[in-house]
Homo-oligomer: A and B are copies of this chain.
Amino acid sequence: MTGHPEPRVPAYRRLTVDERRAQLITTAQHLFARSVPEEVSLDEVARRAGVSRPLVYRYFPGGKQQLYEAALRNAADQLEHCFDVPADGPLSDRLGRALDRYLSFVAEHGEGFTALLRGGSVVETAHTTAIVDGVRRAAAQQVLRHMSVRRPGPWLRTSVRTWITSVEAMSLLSLDEGELTLAELRDYLVELFVAQLTVTATHDRQTARMLRAASALEPPDGRVASLLERAIGALAPAPVDS
């Protein structure tokens, strides 16, 4: 995990190759989390890690681009695991737990790092885009696994992928605006999932079956029941005297 103000491994001890590599990646992630990649220099990475610039190049001969991709790959591995929560309990609770992890990660890595998800970085390439797309695919697969769906048809596949995009978009927008709390975002995104899959179920039998099976496991006083009650209230005509 990044977010520590300084690398965790003290520089005075001789590091193994793996430790040094991990230290440089952590240092780079820390810098990429706070600045756009264009403003991060290898000199700064070397200085913070307490090593020489040539040593950074020995580990990452491709320079900043390679270090950036390694940092991104490392972050992608962590993001992919967010949706890999234990497969027990109601679906809405599992999604809530996964979103807690995902949103904490996004909050922790800050604007600079997540700029990549938004595009617009000068170090973005087809390769880095493939890494980001891989995170989206992996997240969608985890969600389908939680729904016990092995072979999603086009409706279900597209719905889940689109919801993952909404998770990403809301995280980034909220990071910019900072007006919604992580708990509000989490609850909203779980409810958006339920609402979106309900719409999909009205078009697609596979989704309808899945939704029925998932609903049966939700507690009668749980968040899905609460959402339904509030939604019906929101859609009801206004009282005449209001």
Contact = CB atoms under 8 A, between A and B. Distances in A.
A192 interface: yes
Interface in A185-207: 188, 191-192, 195-196, 198-203
Interface stretch (A7-15, A56-64, A77-85, A224-232): A224-232
A145 interface: no
A123 B60 CA distance: 25
Interface in A172-227: 173-174, 177, 179-180, 184, 188, 191-192, 195-196, 198-203, 208, 211-212, 215-216, 227
Contact of A126 (B120, B195, B230, B234): B120
Interface string A127-159: 001101000000000000000000000110110
Nearest to A230: B202
Contacts of A173: 158, 161-162
Contacts of A169: 161-162, 165
Contact of A234 (B198, B233, B235): B198
A216 B237 contact: yes
Interface of A: 118-120, 122, 124-126, 129-130, 132, 154-155, 157-158, 161-162, 165-166, 168-170, 173-174, 177, 179-180, 184, 188, 191-192, 195-196, 198-203, 208, 211-212, 215-216, 227-228, 230-231, 233-235, 237-238
Contacts of A168: 165
Contacts of A165: 165-166, 168-169
A199 B231 contact: yes
Contact of A170 (B130, B158, B216, B230): B158
Nearest to A161: B173
Given A158-B177, A173-B158, A180-B158, A235 B216 contact: no
Nearest to A173: B158
24 contacts: A118-B129, A119-B119, A119-B124, A119-B129, A119-B132, A120-B124, A155-B180, A157-B177, A158-B170, A161-B169, A162-B169, A162-B170, A165-B166, A166-B166, A191-B202, A195-B198, A198-B231, A201-B234, A202-B227, A202-B231, A212-B234, A212-B238, A215-B237, A216-B237
